[in-house]
Structure 1
Amino acid sequence: MEGASETGRDGYTTSRLAAASGYSLQQVRDLERLGVIPPAVRRPNGYRSFGAVHLAALRAYRQLAVAVNPVNARAVMGEARRLPYDEAIARLVALHVELARARNDSLAALHALESIVEEDRTSAAPSSADAMSITELAAALGVRSSTLRFWETQGLITPDRPTRSGARSYPVAAVRDARIVTALRAGGYRIPAVQAILTSVHSVSADDARHALQDRLHAIAIRSEALLRAGTAIADLISYENDAIVDDRLTDGAESDRAALS
């Protein structure tokens, strides 16, 4: 059976690599097939032989899956092996940029929410004169009128229609909801999550929305740490693949030179 022998001087058997990496035998084979790790070397007896680069790639993939999810992690690991050196490094850097942007968006949303809560605490009691038209609200929030209409269809905000023409008018409560939705959407929350948070806000307080954004920031920090841990190993893998390509080209060039001289 493949992988039954001990680790020899030539590297890891499949079973030893699985044990060292924390993956099963089948997972190691699958990840090799999917291009997450470089192809194994086949021994004369047909068994796979792996090296340190394979172990590093598997450990990098485990962390990368935490950072960007398993599907994206498989794609990135494959790109790290296939893309030219500069493009592969740029792809890795882009992951850090994406997480940094997600953190900045969540911080902006949290700050916006804190501002809304503070205004609610210090503002005078609302009156009908404080209502806004859809054009005014869209301009105040920096979104399109069509976005407000979509949020209305999703039950996120509820305008009044006091006129026979059906023109929308947003009372203070609807304006507040719209501002919270804008903050949460800017923080990366999808519509179902926003609906759940708004329900909590209506039934309890804005603390739930605040806690949700703080939880998101914590999750981004965990993903960022995982990406940092994966980054070094992936950079080493990129360099390994690039060096192998350079060595192949040098070998091919040398053979061509010898052929030309013979």
Structure 2
Amino acid sequence: MDGQASSRRGPLRSIDVARESGYSVQQVRDLERLRVIPPATRSAKGYRRFAAIHVQALRGYRGLAQATGPVVARRVLAELRSGTIAQAAAAISEVHAGLGRERAQALRAQEALRAIEAEATASDGGRAGDAMTITELAAALGVRPSTLRYWEQEGLVNPERVTSLRARRYGPATIGEARIVAALRGSGYGIPAVREITATLHRLEGVEETRRILDRRLDQIGARTVALLRAGADLAAVVEAVQEPTTATA
């Protein structure tokens, strides 16, 4: 199937594009309406006439959608078709960078999990000097203190309170949990999902379950990255077609 569209010289029908891109005929029409692919030309009888670039745009869109979701994929495709090569390269680079940030966040969550395990096995359970104030912890996580308060309201992070002013202080174990929360939120997890994951830390074998969740997250990011890499040649063709407008209506 790969390469068939690029080797055909004549115009392609909707069913041809659907077959070679893996979408249904209706999906092809919907994606044309959403401007994911260039508009098709029309025959004298009004039938749609597609070209190889339409198949490549659809394949590129599929990889982008798997990597970033359909909303972002539509936006990036529009940028690729309307900007310069430099702008197109920047848009794709940002997708790769976003996946890299998600991977880094998940890896930091794993590091925090290992820290929690080490803390659990320590004989003294952590020293008082290891605690942080809310300002210190917020700075360490790169978030606002108000974000930590919000997480507390949602039951994600529970600080220890000391002094008559009830100032928040976070012990080593709580700091580790906060790092996991920050990493999960940074990787796109919603509050309910984060709450479920962090709750496992307090149950029997919870650490192991959290480790499996984080491992699955890294596998998912890896699969999304591979999907984006596979789409690379088709996305490059879309960018090149912008420099030769007649290609899209051949």
- TM-score range normalised by the length of the shorter chain: 0.7 to 0.9
Matched residues in 1 for 2:201 and 2:173: separation? 12
Q: Which residue of 1 aligns with 2:5?
A: none
Cα 1:196/1:186, change in 2 over 3 Å: same
TM-score, normalised with respect to structure 2: 0.81
Cα 1:237/1:133, change in 2 over 3 Å: closer
Aligned-residue sequence identity (percent) comes to 47
* CA shift for structure 1 position 235: 0.6
Cα 1:236/1:124, change in 2 over 3 Å: same
* CA shift for structure 1 position 51: 1.4
Matched residues in 2 for 1:94 and 1:171: separation? 36
Matched residues in 2 for 1:176 and 1:101: separation? 19
Q: Does 1:236 align with 2:245?
A: no
Q: Which amino acid aligns with 2:60?
A: A
Kindly indicate whether the alpha-carbon contact (under 8 Å) linking 1:107 and 1:187 is maintained by their aligned counterparts in 2. Answer: no
SS at match of 1:30: helix
Kindly indicate whether the alpha-carbon contact (under 8 Å) linking 2:109 and 2:179 is maintained by their aligned counterparts in 1. Answer: no
Higher relative contact order (CA closer than 8 Å, sequence separation 6+) = 2
Matched residues in 1 for 2:183 and 2:83: separation? 38
Matched residues in 1 for 2:101 and 2:136: separation? 29
What's the CA shift string for 1:69-111, capped at 9, x where partnerless? 1111112122211112221122112211211222122212212
Matched residues in 2 for 1:162 and 1:27: separation? 59
Q: Which amino acid aligns with 2:94?
A: A
What's the CA shift string for 1:196-234, capped at 9, x where partnerless? 111111113222222222111111101101101111101
Q: Does 1:154 align with 2:154?
A: yes
Matched residues in 2 for 1:71 and 1:52: separation? 24
Kindly indicate whether the alpha-carbon contact (under 8 Å) linking 2:116 and 2:173 is maintained by their aligned counterparts in 1. Answer: no
TM-score, normalised with respect to structure 1: 0.78
1:62-211 map, 5 Å:
62-125=62-125, 133-135=133-135, 137-138=137-138, 143-161=143-161, 163-170=163-170, 174-204=174-204, 205-211=206-212
What's the CA shift string for 1:30-82, capped at 9, x where partnerless? 21122111121211222111111111111221222111111111121222111
Matched residues in 2 for 1:89 and 1:173: separation? 43
Kindly indicate whether the alpha-carbon contact (under 8 Å) linking 1:109 and 1:186 is maintained by their aligned counterparts in 2. Answer: no
Structure exhibiting the larger radius of gyration computed from Cα positions: 1
Kindly indicate whether the alpha-carbon contact (under 8 Å) linking 2:119 and 2:126 is maintained by their aligned counterparts in 1. Answer: no
Structure 1 gap ranges (5+)? 1-7, 247-262
SS at match of 1:206: helix
Matched residues in 1 for 2:89 and 2:234: separation? 12
Structure 2 gap ranges (5+)? 1-7
Kindly indicate whether the alpha-carbon contact (under 8 Å) linking 1:116 and 1:179 is maintained by their aligned counterparts in 2. Answer: no
What's the CA shift string for 1:110-142, capped at 9, x where partnerless? 123213312322342468787655456556656
Matched residues in 1 for 2:21 and 2:140: separation? 53
Cα 1:135/1:45, change in 2 over 3 Å: closer
Q: Which residue of 1 aligns with 2:55?
A: 55
* CA shift for structure 1 position 161: 4.1
SS at match of 1:157: coil
Cα 1:44/1:121, change in 2 over 3 Å: same
Cα 1:121/1:143, change in 2 over 3 Å: farther
* CA shift for structure 1 position 181: 2.7
203-212 or 68-77, which deviates more = 203-212
Q: Which amino acid aligns with 2:218?
A: L
Matched residues in 1 for 2:89 and 2:183: separation? 33
Kindly indicate whether the alpha-carbon contact (under 8 Å) linking 1:106 and 1:188 is maintained by their aligned counterparts in 2. Answer: no
Kindly indicate whether the alpha-carbon contact (under 8 Å) linking 1:81 and 1:237 is maintained by their aligned counterparts in 2. Answer: yes
Cα 1:102/1:172, change in 2 over 3 Å: closer
Aligned CA RMSD, in angstroms, stands at: 2.8
Cα 1:241/1:116, change in 2 over 3 Å: same
SS at match of 1:203: coil
SS at match of 1:168: strand
